[in-house]
């Protein structure tokens, strides 16, 4: 790693004024599971690294049907939290698919969102859940919808002096859920990931559907077409297959060194049908 | 700057560079060579240490940010100067060839068994999927862990 200055502020205000002072020349260090490799490869050469791990942003709080999750909540807590298992179990299923066990020890929710890898799990989950992200700078706070937050590969609406402080997601205890993904090797980023949440009414018809993809574009993709094809319908195998197809047909995934866009698109359709099927089964229980 | 940690049970304060990783602190500054250096990007698992009991890639941790956390390396497993029973099981089952992945395999296994003491073979394989071995084909490593689990049931 190239040499840099290191600061470890203990309050959010101190962190934000450091960030205001150094702006583009600073990098925020959270769990470090993406930033440190980037520094090893010298893909970024910040003059200052601002380590935010001492900030009090590690809380999980359920209130009035909403769940607040601090930016420093680590993946293993998303996996293991009894509170989240009760109120938003899709988070644990997604977190289990992230990287390897060492990444899950240190990696953080806020870090994953701010890093914005288009194939990462949590950005897709937050897009499906229609989460609200808390964002702070020295000039104030704002809230950004997850569906507006990601603007491209590793790119978000965050200004150079802003950090993500946490997210708010709806409690989803009655919904069925599923995360499906295909990756080349265990622990790799997904070729395609699908997140599905299904709520059923008393007759067993879909009254809420939330679907998003990772890996199929330059940012997480909200699958509105699948949701529209499900809402109000009885979720028969045929309806689910049609919804998955509708979602697939809106995608134009990229080709990379390993996988063609056409293959990715095909896999997206297959995984979407599987995720919807599993989510509906769980919603019926 | 000063890094504070509890290394294998012993509190330490060590002078480090801001850009020094925990792996570099352990190997280059403290001469603890049971932690290996592999990919330097958190994928291979040979630099695994236990941070407050959980596996972490020491190549992806800044030493300056340790804030007094407990770091366990392989030598912290020694009991009265002897090998840990899991190490014995690895030897008995031929789970070691070149040995480069072994410290990470052992530490990852012990952290896993701490949370899940009675895993089946499939769960053991899943628990070790983040630790790469290029010699054994994994079969004997999983055999060794399985035997250790059975012996300690």
Catalogue all structural domains in chain A, each as residue range(s) with its CATH number.
Answer: 5-51 (3.30.43.10), 60-170 (3.30.465.10), 176-284 (3.30.390.50)
Chain A hits for B133, CB-CB cut-off 8 Å, are: none
Nearest to A6 among B64, B112, B127 (CB): B64
Domains of chain B (ranges; CATH) run 2-77 (3.10.20.30), 85-151 (1.10.150.120)
3-class SS string, chain A: CCCCEEECCCCHHHHHHHHHHHHHHEEEECCCCCHHHHHHCCCCCCCEEEECCCCCCCCEEEECCEEEEECCCEHHHHHHCHHHHHHCCHHHHHHCCCCCHHHHHHCEHHHHHHHCCCCCHHHHHHHHHCCEEEEEECCEEEEEEHHHHEEECCEECCCCCCEEEEEEEECCCCCEEEEEEECCCCCCCCCEEEEEEEEECCCCCEEEEEEEEECCCCCCEECHHHHHHHCCCCCCHHHHHHHHHHHHHCCCCCCCCCCCHHHHHHHHHHHHHHHHHHHHHHHHC
CB of B5 within 8 Å of a chain A CB? The answer is: no
pLDDT at B152: 87
pLDDT above 90 covers a percentage of chain A that reads 97
Chain A hits for B130, CB-CB cut-off 8 Å, are: 99-103, 186-187
Chain A hits for B44, CB-CB cut-off 8 Å, are: none
Chain A hits for B61, CB-CB cut-off 8 Å, are: 32, 36, 106
Nearest to A37 among B45, B60, B61 (CB): B60
CB of B17 within 8 Å of a chain A CB? The answer is: yes
Interface test with A, best of B15, B19, B131 (most A CBs within 10 A): B19
Question: Would you state the structure tokens that stand for residue B61, as one six-digit string?
Answer: 């941790």
Chain A hits for B35, CB-CB cut-off 8 Å, are: none
The C-alpha angle with vertex B55 and arms to A102 and A179, in degrees rounded to 5, equals: 40
Taking the model in full, what pTM does it have?
A: 0.96
State pLDDT tens for residues A167-200: 999 999 999 999 999 999 888 889 999 999 999 9
Chain B hits for A32, CB-CB cut-off 8 Å, are: 60-62, 65
Report CB contact under 8 Å: A102, B17. no
pLDDT, mean over chain A: 97
Q: What is the CA A220 to chain-centroid distance, rounded?
A: 8
pLDDT at B80: 85
pLDDT at B142: 98
Q: Which of residues 54-93 of B touch A (CB under 8 A)?
A: 54-57, 59-62, 64-65, 67
State pLDDT tens for residues A93-146: 999 999 999 999 999 999 999 999 999 999 999 999 999 999 999 999 999 999
Mean pLDDT of A63-69: 96
State pLDDT tens for residues A233-248: 999 999 999 999 999 9
pLDDT at B81: 85
State pLDDT tens for residues A81-108: 999 999 999 999 999 999 999 999 999 9
What are the residues of chain A with a beta carbon less than 8 Å away from any beta carbon of chain B? 1-6, 8, 29, 32-33, 36-37, 39-41, 49, 51, 53-54, 76, 99-103, 105-106, 186-187
CB within 8 Å of B145: residues ≥ 6 apart = B86, B89, B109, B124, B128
**Residue B6 CB burial class (10 angstroms; 0-12, 13-18, ≥19):** middle
């Amino acid at each position: 790693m190239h040499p840099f200055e290191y600061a470890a502020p203990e309050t959010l205000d101190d962190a934000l004024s450091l960030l205001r002072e150094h702006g583009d020349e600073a990098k925020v260090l959270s769990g470090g599971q993406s930033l440190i490799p980037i520094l090893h490869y010298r893909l970024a050469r910040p003059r200052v690294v601002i380590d935010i791990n001492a900030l009090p942003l590690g809380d999980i709080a359920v209130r009035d049907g909403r769940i607040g999750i601090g930016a420093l909540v680590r993946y293993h807590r998303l996996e293991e939290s009894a509170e989240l298992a009760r109120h938003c179990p899709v988070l644990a299923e997604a977190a289990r698919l992230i990287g390897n066990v060492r990444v899950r020890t240190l990696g953080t929710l806020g870090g994953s969102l701010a890093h914005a890898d288009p194939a990462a799990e949590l950005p897709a989950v937050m897009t499906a859940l229609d989460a609200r992200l808390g964002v702070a700078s020295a000039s104030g706070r704002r809230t950004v919808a997850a569906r507006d937050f990601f603007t491209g590969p590793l790119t978000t609406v965050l200004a150079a002096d802003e950090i993500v402080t946490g997210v708010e997601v709806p409690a989803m205890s009655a919904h069925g859920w599923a995360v499906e993904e295909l990756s080349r090797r265990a622990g790799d980023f997904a070729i395609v990931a699908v997140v599905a949440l299904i709520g059923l009414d008393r007759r067993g018809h879909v009254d809420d559907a939330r679907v998003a993809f990772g890996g199929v574009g330059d940012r997480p993709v909200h699958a509105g077409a699948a949701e529209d094809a499900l809402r109000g319908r009885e979720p028969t195998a045929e309806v689910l297959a049609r919804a998955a197809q509708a979602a697939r047909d809106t995608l134009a995934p990229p080709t990379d060194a390993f996988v063609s866009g056409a293959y990715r698109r095909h896999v997206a359709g297959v995984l979407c049908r599987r995720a919807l099927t599993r989510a509906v089964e769980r919603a019926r229980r | 700057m000063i890094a504070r940690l509890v290394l294998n049970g012993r509190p330490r304060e060590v002078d480090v560079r801001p850009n020094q990783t925990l792996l570099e602190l352990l190997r280059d500054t403290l001469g603890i060579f049971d932690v290996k250096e592999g990919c330097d990007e958190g994928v291979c698992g040979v630099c695994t240490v236990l941070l407050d009991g959980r596996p972490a890639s020491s190549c992806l941790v800044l030493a300056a940010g340790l804030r007094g956390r407990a770091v366990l390396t392989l030598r912290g497993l020694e009991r009265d100067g002897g090998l840990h029973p899991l190490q014995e099981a690895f030897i008995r089952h031929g789970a070691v060839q070149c040995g480069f992945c072994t410290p990470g395999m052992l530490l990852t296994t012990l952290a896993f068994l701490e949370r899940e003491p009675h895993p089946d073979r499939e769960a053991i394989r899943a628990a070790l999927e983040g630790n790469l071995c290029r010699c054994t084909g994994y079969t004997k490593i999983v055999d060794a862990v399985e035997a250790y689990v059975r012996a300690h049931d």
